[in-house]
Amino acid sequence: MAKVAFLGLGVMGYPMAGHLQAAGHDVTVYNRTTAKAEAWASEHGGTAAATPALAAKGAEFVLCCVGNDDDLRSVCLGDDGAFIGMDADTIFVDHTTVSAAVTRELFAASDAKDIAFVDAPVSGGQAGAENGVLSVMCGGEQSAYDKAEPIIAAYARICKRIGDSGAGQMTKMCNQIAIAGLVQGLSEALHFAEKAGLDGRAVVEVISQGAAGSWQMSNRYETMLDDHFEHGFAVDWMRKDLGICLATANENGASLPVTALVDQFYKDVQKMGGSRWDTSSLIKRLRDV
């Protein structure tokens, strides 16, 4: 078993760190809100640290799941950052969904300190984190990935190295691009069924068994029909992710017309007061037209 630090105890990080402790690892946690780190330590039996540097001190692996580019920089860099506390030849694993630019920046900063850096964003949402069945897409050196993969396995259903540094983040962008179109299509199908006077549950029972079936359909159609969106991945975070996708597409020349359109639809949902609603709330925009 390994000595591990986990930075960031949001809806994803809190259960992920718990799975690591349950798997027998020696886990020290850090969270910007100290009370949450102390609550985690009380619940799971690990240790809470006051700074990222202190959490990382002596750790073989430092794992991180925070909010955005600036949050990631703040826990990695500076006098209290994790990189200061990490020894040479240790491994930093970033589970945050961030831009490829900050991944390249931090890969270079870690490399200068002889720290291995693996970008490893996740998919599966809060439920996936709680149940330990996340999909983890990784970028970085093969040797670093090989060492990190058994640690990540504590909360992953699948973990795969896609390529060199940044490949994990690029793959997560593919994931979010695909989800955006799927959720909009499902929203339109359910909205159409309602307008046609059909029983939405009966419709999904049939079409989910054919080519229209998807994770979104299986896991979100009932709450969408019930107009319930107080769960899952928030619209604000989805817009952050889609913004990263669109900015990167502008750099590499990819054409993302549907993604750009759905991003604007999510902007409409934000204006409706749905910033913290689940991403499946796209259907509310159609109902309120």
**Mean pLDDT to the nearest integer, 137-160:** 98
Asked if 227 and 284 count as a contact pair (C-beta separation under 8 A), the reply is yes
**Mean pLDDT to the nearest integer, 106-133:** 96
**Mean pLDDT to the nearest integer, 68-75:** 96
Residue 210: what are its φ and ψ, rounded to 5°? -115, -155
Instruction: Give bridge partners of residue 48 from the DSSP assignment.
Output: 29
pLDDT tier for residue 175 given thresholds of 50, 70 and 90: very high
Average per-residue pLDDT for the chain:
96
The amino acid present at 179, given as its one-letter code, is I
CATH T-level fold of 3-164: Rossmann fold (3.40.50)
Percentage of the chain surpassing pLDDT 70?
100
Q: What is the pTM of this model?
A: 0.93
Tell me the C-alpha distance between 45 and 151, whole Å.
18
pLDDT tier for residue 181 given thresholds of 50, 70 and 90: very high
pLDDT on residue 289: 66
Tell me the C-alpha distance between 78 and 284, whole Å.
43
**Mean pLDDT to the nearest integer, 40-57:** 97
Residue 179: CB partners within 8 Å, gap ≥ 6?
216, 279
Residue with the two structure tokens 């709330």:
281
Asked if 109 and 133 count as a contact pair (C-beta separation under 8 A), the reply is no
Lowest mean pLDDT among 103-112, 226-235, 266-275: 226-235
pLDDT on residue 100: 87
**Mean pLDDT to the nearest integer, 43-63:** 97
pLDDT on residue 288: 77
Tell me the C-alpha distance between 240 and 233, whole Å.
12
Asked if 110 and 88 count as a contact pair (C-beta separation under 8 A), the reply is no
pLDDT for 23-33, tens place per residue? 999 999 999 99
Residue with the two structure tokens 């689940």:
278
Tell me the C-alpha distance between 289 and 283, whole Å.
10
From 172, 240, 271, 284, active-site residue: 172
pLDDT tier for residue 232 given thresholds of 50, 70 and 90: confident
| DSSP letters spanning 125-152 | HHHHHHHT-EEEEEES-HHHHHHHHHHH
Nearest to 11 by CA among 134, 174, 184, 143: 134
In degrees, to the nearest 5, what angle opens at C-alpha 176 toward C-alphas 203 and 147? 120
CATH architecture of 170-287: Orthogonal Bundle (1.10)
Tell me the C-alpha distance between 149 and 155, whole Å.
11
Element (H, E) at 38: helix 34-44
pLDDT on residue 231: 82
User: Is pLDDT above 70 for 254?
Assistant: yes
Percentage of the chain surpassing pLDDT 90?
96
**Mean pLDDT to the nearest integer, 177-195:** 98
User: Is pLDDT above 90 for 229?
Assistant: yes
**147 noted as active-site residue:** no
Q: How many residues are given for the chain?
A: 289
**Mean pLDDT to the nearest integer, 46-50:** 96
Q: Decide whether 3-164 matches 170-287 in CATH topology.
A: no
What letter would DSSP give residue 12? Answer: T
Q: Where are the domains positioned within the chain?
A: 3-164, 170-287
pLDDT on residue 164: 95
